[in-house]
Amino acid sequence: MNREQVFIKTPLGIAKLEGDQEGLTSFVVLDGDEQPTTVIPEVLEDAVYQLREYFEGERKRFSLTLNPRGTDFQKRVWEELQQIPYGKTISYLELSKKVGDVKAIRAVAAANGQNPLWIVVPCHRVIGSDGSLTGYAGGLHRKKWLLEHESPVKQTTLF
């Protein structure tokens, strides 16, 4: 099956989406200077539309077919991430409990960091037990922006 890709402009930078008839496989924000795609492949139209709504503050939950590539354990973690409500956060410890093994906190954190579907699978909603912003593949400045974007109380700064 041929994977399609598209580059879109977001408030966080140019994002690259990949997917095929089986679903969205990847969404990451890049640090390069790629140009937005002018023609969006049909298999990615809905994802582009829903992401635009998210960034405009009109969408709180995605309804897309997802097909990320990863191990069974990673997929279990990513499925659990999708249960974190918009505007809420949980700790890595809480996430490892939800996955079913409090001792697997490092493996859960590693799976969180390998999430290929940023924002759609909200790994940015996982924070340190002390409330601190901890690692984010897209950089802490993007994690901070996303959490502030989703915050029910708009403040000058959240962290």
Virtual torsion, Cα 4, 12, 94, 50, nearest 10 deg: -50
Residue 148 belongs to what H/E stretch?
A: helix 140-150
Residues in the chain: 159
Distance of CA 15 to the CA centre of its chain: 12
Work out the burial of residue 123: count CB atoms within 10 Å of its CB; fewer than 13 is exposed, 13-18 middle, 19 or more buried: buried
Catalytic, 106? Answer no
The active-site residue out of 117, 123, 146, 147 is 123
Tell me whether strands 23-29 and 13-20 are parallel, antiparallel or unpaired: antiparallel
Please report the beta strands in the chain, taking only residues with DSSP state E, as ranges in sequence order: 4-10, 13-20, 23-29, 90-91, 126-127
The residues that are catalytic are: 123
